[in-house]
Structure 1
Amino acid sequence: MYMSDYDMSGAYVGWKPSKPLFISINTDGGIVRGDQGEWIGGYAKGVGSCSAFKAELWGVLEGLRYVRSLGFNKIELNIDSEVVVRVIKTGRSRNVAGSALTDQILKMMTLDWEVEVHHTYREANKCADAMANYGCSIGFDTQYFNSCPVFITELFEADSLGLSMPRLIPV
């Protein structure tokens, strides 16, 4: 496609804070923020060679495990894969390769906490995408970040300032 094949008048998209008293998790890798956009934590997981679907599921599972370990009980889970959102909301997947991960996620969703699942556009998920890319360099480990890592500082600050960008829509 060429740039002329896109509608440039589409909506502007950017990261948005969670509703009051909730924390937000943006997944691929993951960023956990408070309702004012403040840094709570981050994580990156090396998943090796696998499908994008399975990598997205790993990001969700690790995010839920992480915020559970931190003691939070009101979570907005923001995922940039519509397929993963649908699988979590319906509890059904046609992908056998991700079924064990899906089962673990669904089990976590039934715990004594409130988890709202939302789709977010990739343009509003740049910090989490950068964390996922970092995860590609750390083998099969999961690394946690108590403070914002240098490699996403500019993206995190742009989110905090409310900067947005146009969402290009194919015409």
Structure 2
Amino acid sequence: MNLGACSITRAELRGAVEGLQLAWDAGFRHVRLELDSACACQLLQSTDSGEHHHATDLDRAQELLKREWDVSVTHIYREGNKCADFLASRGHVAPLGLHMFSVADPMFCNWLLYNVQGLSESRMVLNER
């Protein structure tokens, strides 16, 4: 999906809403929603969107999360989900809006295999004191 110019948090929240809706419509009832934005995870796990500037997306996500299904929301580093990273980079060059693919890009299939095997790139995290 290409949303145009927006914040990372908004992109993650819209992705969560669209992904949850697609999962629900496809009949999935046990879903793990992985986001590489810790801020978006925290917002989704809170129960009050209040007057947050992302309230529209948060309210829609909360409606979806309250349905009769099992959804876990977890933070994952970008390196931990190469499929999502690949699709996000494709979204930057796609026309505005949501795009569905009937045939998977071969590179996506490679990253899917990479993810299924539990492989990931290492990430250096510095602890500043």
Higher helix share: 2
CA distance in 1, matches of 2:26, 2:48: 28
Identity over aligned pairs, percent = 28
For 1:97, what is the secondary structure of its paired residue?
coil
Matched length: 127
2:45 is aligned with 1:89: yes
Q: Deviations over 1:107-135 (max 9, x none)?
A: 11111111111111111022102111211
2:22 is aligned with 1:101: no
CA distance in 2, matches of 1:143, 1:113: 26
Higher strand share: 1
Report the RMSD for the aligned CA atoms in angstroms.
1.9
With over 3 angstroms needed to count, the CA separation of the structure-2 counterparts of 1:92 and 1:168, relative to structure 1, is farther
In the other structure, the counterpart of 1:168 is 124
For 2:5, what is the secondary structure of its paired residue?
coil
Letter in 2 for 1:143: H
- Unpaired runs of at least 5, structure 2: none
2:93 is aligned with 1:137: yes
Stretch deviating more after TM superposition (148-157 or 80-89): 148-157
With over 3 angstroms needed to count, the CA separation of the structure-2 counterparts of 1:158 and 1:136, relative to structure 1, is same
The TM-score normalised by the length of structure 2 is 0.86
The TM-score normalised by the length of structure 1 is 0.67
- Unpaired runs of at least 5, structure 1: 1-44
Q: Which has the higher contact order (CA 8 A, sep 6+)?
A: 1
